[in-house]
Amino acid sequence: MVDVLLGCIVYDFKIQNGMMIEDKENPKTKLLNYLKEKYKTDNFAKNQTIHKPNYLSVWSFKGQPK
């Protein structure tokens, strides 16, 4: 289940940042929209913590340049 959630978050991040075009008929998009509905969010590609229906925290990685 963790792999499915992470895949949806990455997929949404790519759509929101213009790396992919959203295809409404794609099964990934349907699953993503279902999970957004359940978590009551419009976007997984932003920094947020959701406490219901279960705890989910999504934060963009801000690494230090070498």
**Is residue 21 domain-resident?**
yes
Q: Within a domain: residue 65?
A: no
The residue segments making up the domain with residue 18 are: 2-58
22 domain residue, yes or no: yes
pLDDT tens-digit profile of 3-13?
A: 988 898 899 98
Whether the pLDDT of residue 54 is over 90: the answer is no
- pTM for the whole thing? 0.74
Residue 47 forms part of a structural domain: yes
Alpha carbon distance 30, 62 (integer Å) = 29
Q: Give the C-alpha separation, 56 to 39, whole Å.
A: 9
**What pLDDT score does 31 carry?**
93
* Domain count along the chain: 1
Is 46 a member of any domain? yes
Question: Is residue 31 in a domain?
Answer: yes
pLDDT digits (tens, 9 = 90+) for 4-48: 888 988 999 899 889 999 898 999 999 999 999 988 888 888 888
